[in-house]
Each structure stands twice: as structure tokens, then as C-alpha cells.
Amino acid sequence: MKLFYGWVIVGIGMIVTCIGMGSMMSLGVYLQPISQDMGWTRTGISFTAVLSFLAMGFGSFLWGALSDRFGTRIVVLAGGVILGVGLISASQAATLWQFQLLFGLLVGLAAGSFYGPLTASVTRWFTANRSLAVALVSAGMGVGSLMIAPLSRWIITNYDWRSAMLAIGALALVVIVPVALFIRRPPVGEVIGGAADRGAAGRDLSLGQVIRTPQFVAISLTFFCCCAAHSGPIFHMVSYAIDCGIPSMTAATVFGTTGLASLSGRIVCGLIADRVGARQTLVAGLAVQAVAVSLYIITKGTVGFYALAALFGLAFGGVMPLYAILVREYFGARHMGSAFGIALMVSTLGMSLGPWAGGWLFDTFGSYFWMYIGSFGIGLGAVAIAFTFRPPERQPVALAVA
């Protein structure tokens, strides 16, 4: 039985997002070693993460537009080279500003070339099982946090942070670049094209028309609120658990439980969305996420933190792939890379807002209570906006007259 090549693209997406996103998201592992070795403040090093998110957001739109025009292969190839060069160069940084620019801008820009363009490519390959395929690519991000961070930590422990960052940069070059060569477009006329390529509107829309529709604005705002609601609780999870009397090592494993649950949630929600629809699954997942965030206020014991970590991870992990599915279903494949890239760019603003707001609220009020209250409110806002989702009004497709 011949293997459908779309699943090969899914596998490539998992590998690339694992290394690409895992490299960027592992910065926290380097925080203490870099601070001790270089004498840089943790605030200064942490600001690198803000730059990374902003660069990734801008890059998501830029790379998405380029992938629509030139194809996903060249975009991922370029991103793999930039990621490797960025990590290797950052490992040799002598000053804080050099590190911020090399890691924050280069690595963040490179990270934007992976998830959005690869997700767009996968949606073009699949009609059946599309939600599951996108969920598997998204799962690569979760696997990256579980693999790249521990690998980096092991190298740091046995050598130093510079060796670890250089090794991960070399890994990016030797894996992502050759793997990207196997990316290709789906055969014309088999998967995309015709009415199936036009989305719910029933006709081709320009990118300008897509981003001006109420549906696209609603999807982007929901994506922003979703990320703003969960990014603060995720970033401050370990600190809050320790504040509640949980041992530091146990708090770290609670965080790991969240990562594992989010990985499972992506796949489970992908399977559910293929059966009941992406919009319905998204609304349910956002509601569970909001409830889970609110429960942190009353959760204290170790068992409670583990249980809540599993619930929270399933919810926020499960909803993340669904935005791409909605963009593809509503607007078709023609501008999928650009349109989803813009939605991703909006979401990264929410991702960068949550950790900063959580830290400010803690410094101001001496606890995380108002962070969780605010995240719960924003999460409910995401649910409310998601309830408004309606496919664009279908337009008749003009038929040629012989």
C-alpha cells in the first residue's frame, strides 16, 4: 500500500517544529547559567524572550507570505539556516545586547518560519483527517519542549551554556536543512484546487479581503485572548507552586505534566474536531481553559496541582491547532500562509503580554491572585468571541459559458 505523501509532510513538520520551536522555548534553561557566568541580570536575559516572541510574530507573517509565493520548502530551508547561525552566534556573545540581538531577533525570526508555513502546507495536503494532521504538527512544539530543554540542560551540566547553545545550533543545521529538502507541494488537482480550495466563502478572496472580514478579525482576537489568558499562568506556574509550599523539584515536574498534557490535548482535540467540527471543539476547549485558570486560586496541595496541570495542559494545548483549521475552512488555501501568519502574529502579542503582566501584578500586589482573575476574565472573553464565529456568507461561483 502506497504511503500518502501528506503524512510525510506531517512528519517533517513535527521534526522541524520540535527542534525549531524547542530551541527558542528553551531559553529559560539558560537563564541561571548565563546570569552566573556573565553577570547579566535575569531581567536583561529574560527580555530576550520578549524580543523572540515579537520577532517570531513578525516573522510568522513575513514567512507565511513568502511561503504562499515561493513555497514552504525554501522558507523552511532559510529558517533552518538562520536558526542555526543565530544559536551558534549567540553562544559566542560577549555582551548582553549582542545576546539579545542574536538570540532574540535571529532565533525568533527563524522560529516564525516553521509552524505557520508548515501548518499551511499540511492543510493543503489534507481534506479528510485535516484537524488531526495539523494537530500532529502542533504536537511537535510540545515534543520540542520535552526534548530540547532537557538536552540543553544535560550539556550545560556537563560542559557549559556556550557549548549547549552551539550544539543545539549545529543540530538545527544538520537536521532541519536536509529534512526541508523533502517538502513539496501537493499534486495539482488531487488535494487542492477547484471548490475545495476556496473555503466557506465559495470563491477566491484576496488577502486584503480575507483580513477585513469579521470572521478573520474574530479568529485573530480569539487567538490573542486565548494566548494572553494562558501564557501568564504557564510562565509563572513553577513560581506560584513554590509559593504555595510545593517543593521546587516537584513544582518542576508539575510543569512537565502540563507539557505532556498539552501534547495529548493537541492530538485528542484534533481527532474530536475531525468529527464534530473545529469551532465547536474550540469553544469547549476555551471554556475548559478559563475554568482551569480560575481553579488555580483555590488549588494548594501537590495532588491538586498535578490534577490541574493535566486539565490546564489538555485545554490550552488542544485549542492551539484549531485556529489554523478555521482559517483554512473559512478562507481556503490560496492565502493560507499569509492569513494564518497574521493570526499568529496577533497571538504572539498575547503570549508576550501574559508573562510580563503576571510579573507586574505580583510585584505590585504581592501575589498572583489578580493574574489568575485577569486571565480568567480574558479567557471568558475568548469564549464569548468564539461563540460569534460564523462561516463567511457563501458566494456563488461564476460558471464559464461555452
Q: What is the pTM of this model?
A: 0.75
Closest of 87, 321, 354 to residue 229, by C-alpha: 354
- Answer for the pair 332, 199: CB distance below 8 angstroms, yes or no: yes
211-234: burial string, b at 16+ Cβ within 10 Å, e else = bebebbebbbbbbbbbbbbbbbbb
For the domain 202-389, what is the CATH superfamily, name and number? MFS general substrate transporter like domains (1.20.1250.20)
| The three cell numbers locating residue 117 | 508555513
pLDDT digits (tens, 9 = 90+) for 83-114: 999 999 999 999 999 999 999 899 999 998 99
pLDDT of residue 39: 87
- Delimit the domains of the chain by residue range: 1-192, 202-389
Q: List, for the chain, all residue ranges whose pLDDT scores fall below the cut of 70.
A: 1, 42, 145, 188-204, 391-402
Residue 113 sits at φ, ψ, to 5 deg, of -85, -5
Residue 188 confidence (pLDDT): 63
Q: Which long-range contacts does 24-28 make (Cβ < 8 Å, 24+ apart)?
A: 24/52, 24/56, 24/107, 24/108, 24/111, 25/141, 25/144, 25/145, 25/148, 25/149, 26/145, 26/148, 26/149, 26/152, 26/168, 27/52, 27/103, 28/149
The position carrying cell 542555526 is 84
Is 379 in contact with 386 (CB distance < 8 Å)?
no
Architecture of domain 1-192: Up-down Bundle (1.20)
Stated as kind and residue range, the H or E segment containing 144 is helix 130-158
Distance CA 132, CA 128 (A): 9
Q: Do domains 1-192 and 202-389 have the same CATH topology?
A: yes
Q: What is the pLDDT of residue 41?
A: 78
Q: What is the pLDDT of residues 246-297, one digit of tens each?
A: 887 777 777 778 878 888 888 888 889 888 888 999 999 999 999 999 999 9
What is the residue whose three cell numbers read 549545529? 170
